[in-house]
Amino acid sequence: MMKMTATALAAVLLAAAGSAVAAPTVDVLHYWTSGSEASGLNELKTLLQKEGVVWKDAPVAGGTGMNAVQVLHARVAAGDPPAAVQLQPSQIATWGKEGQLRDLDDIATKNGWDKIISPELIPYLNVDKQYVAVPVNVHRNNWLWYNKQVFDKLGLAPPKTWDEFNAVGDKLKAAGVIPLALGGQPWQELDLFENLVLGIGGPEFYRKALVQQDESALRSPTMLKVFTELRKLNDYVDPNYPGRDWNLATAMLIQGKAAMQIQGDWAKGEMLLANKKANVDYGCVPAPGTAGDFTWIIDAFSFFKTKNADKVEGQTDMATAVLDKNFQEAFSLKKGSIPARVDVSSAKFDECGKQSFVDRAQAQANHTTIPSLAHNAAAAEDKTGVFLDTISSFFESKNMTPQQGIDRLVSGLQSL
């Protein structure tokens, strides 16, 4: 654990003596509001408070920051940017290129970030080769979670392909169980879509279609298969899915009301918080067709430039604490993710977490690590917005044909 800085000690002592004194301070804009997200973040809050840092919490509920991003724009426009903000790669690029984010190179050099951060993440934390973000963790997005007791009771095996998924879905429906737990929000529907692109087309196709937005890939027979299967998934969700938050969908899986959820491993954080056990209550397998691939998501913090000395010190303390080795382990054990540091042992993680460590290393060796589109890593914000709007409209409008969906996606991207 870190030593208390002299300033922090002075602040604590003087505060205890009843004298008001400036103390290192951070106001933190984030969206970690579910039970397991808040529990993980509390590890950081507690660590910083022990250092004498004043933490002003600014939570904005809404999966993957779909609402927090609007609050951030409003606060910056009002001249009141947060000292610290939770961002993902495309947002780091947006604010970094505008010169609004603090240069963290001094902290990175002092703490050897180039050697301790998982290498595939580093380019996404830099703008013009300058660190402007510190990574908290890595989530894997291409997971399928299943309720093991429901599967065992019905004698089902977790699906490895999308044809197997459909067959399992039909058997679950016949047994009166909701096959797929889903929240009807654009990012969750785009999540399904990106897993279909990877599972049906493979990593290279994913890169061409979603990272490069190559028109021949978007108009290919493979993409038609993706949209056709996405339409099929309408048959496997319950009528009340529209607008549902992701953690309420996970609660359906935990309670056995639904049998499967295709979701990043933050869903596991909720299952752990509910005292559920891997391979007893829940099972984890790669999303159909994606075994050997690792769709990564980075959660990071950036720090808006400020002249306020207390905020500058609070930012320095927070950027340093986020990559503290003990915090990196404690956070991910609660959050369902794996550390952004490469030197944290997997020993304390459950079987699904251990599998994530192994699969990340294998995917790095095989060049099958893939940036998530739904979680703001594969494409710029404007292009991601077109995918969100188009895929959500397609999933919600059952009379839109797969070809119409593709035509709408291509024209939307071309209109940027």
Q: Which residue lies nearer to ligand GAL by CB, 53 or 69?
A: 69
Q: Which residue lies nearer to ligand GAL by CB, 126 or 263?
A: 263
Q: Which residue lies nearer to ligand GAL by CB, 210 or 406?
A: 210
Residues that contact ligand GAL, how many (by CB under 6 A): 10
Q: Which residues ranging from 10 to 39 are in contact with ligand GAL (CB under 6 A)?
A: 32, 37
Q: From 341, 349, 354, select the one nearest 298 (Cα to Cα).
A: 341
Provide the 3-class DSSP secondary structure of residue 139. strand
Integer Cα distance of 51 and 217 in angstroms: 52
Could you say whether residue 63 binds ligand GAL (CB under 6 A)? yes
* Residue choice 64, 142, 261, 316 for contact with ligand GAL (CB under 6 A): 64
* Residue choice 55, 60, 139, 409 for contact with ligand GAL (CB under 6 A): 139
Per-residue tokens: 203: 């990593």
Q: From 155, 137, 150, select the one nearest 283 (Cα to Cα).
A: 150
Per-residue tokens: 200: 């049906």
Q: Which residue has the tokens 């067709």?
A: 289
Could you say whether residue 297 binds ligand GAL (CB under 6 A)? yes
What is the nearest approach in angstroms of ligand GAL to the Cβ of residue 139? 5
Could you say whether residue 349 binds ligand GAL (CB under 6 A)? no
Q: Looking at beta carbons, which residue is closest to ligand GAL?
A: 64
Could you say whether residue 266 binds ligand GAL (CB under 6 A)? yes
Residue 362, number of CB atoms within 10 A of its CB: 14
Integer Cα distance of 322 and 28 in angstroms: 13
* Residue choice 375, 377, 405, 409 for contact with ligand GAL (CB under 6 A): 375
CA distances from 18 to 14, 233, 253, 408 (A): 6, 62, 51, 64
Q: Which residue lies nearer to ligand GAL by CB, 141 or 166?
A: 141
What is the nearest approach in angstroms of ligand GAL to the Cβ of residue 11? 31
> Position 186: which residue type?
P
What is the nearest approach in angstroms of ligand GAL to the Cβ of residue 72? 15
Residues 6+ apart with CB under 8 A from 375: 64, 88, 139, 141, 187, 191, 264, 297
What DSSP character marks residue 348? T
Could you say whether residue 208 binds ligand GAL (CB under 6 A)? no
> SS3 helix, strand, coil % of the chain, rounded to 5?
55, 15, 30
What is the nearest approach in angstroms of ligand GAL to the Cβ of residue 306? 25
What is the nearest approach in angstroms of ligand GAL to the Cβ of residue 63? 4
Provide the 3-class DSSP secondary structure of residue 177. coil
Q: Which residue lies nearer to ligand GAL by CB, 63 or 159?
A: 63
Could you say whether residue 329 binds ligand GAL (CB under 6 A)? no
Could you say whether residue 55 binds ligand GAL (CB under 6 A)? no
> Position 20: which residue type?
A
The alpha carbon of residue 51 and the mean position of all alpha carbons in its chain are separated, in whole angstroms, by 28
Could you say whether residue 246 binds ligand GAL (CB under 6 A)? yes
What is the nearest approach in angstroms of ligand GAL to the Cβ of residue 376? 7
Residue 112, number of CB atoms within 10 A of its CB: 10
Residue 261, number of CB atoms within 10 A of its CB: 24
Q: What is the DSSP string of 37-66?
A: HHHHHHHHHHHHHHTTPEEEEEE--SGGGT
What is the nearest approach in angstroms of ligand GAL to the Cβ of residue 225? 27
What is the nearest approach in angstroms of ligand GAL to the Cβ of residue 64? 3
Could you say whether residue 299 binds ligand GAL (CB under 6 A)? yes
Q: Which residue lies nearer to ligand GAL by CB, 62 or 402?
A: 62
Could you say whether residue 270 binds ligand GAL (CB under 6 A)? no
What is the nearest approach in angstroms of ligand GAL to the Cβ of residue 237? 18
Integer Cα distance of 139 and 130 in angstroms: 24
Q: Which residue lies nearer to ligand GAL by CB, 37 or 51?
A: 37
- Interaction site with ligand GAL (CB under 6 A): 32, 37, 63-64, 139, 246, 266, 297, 299, 375
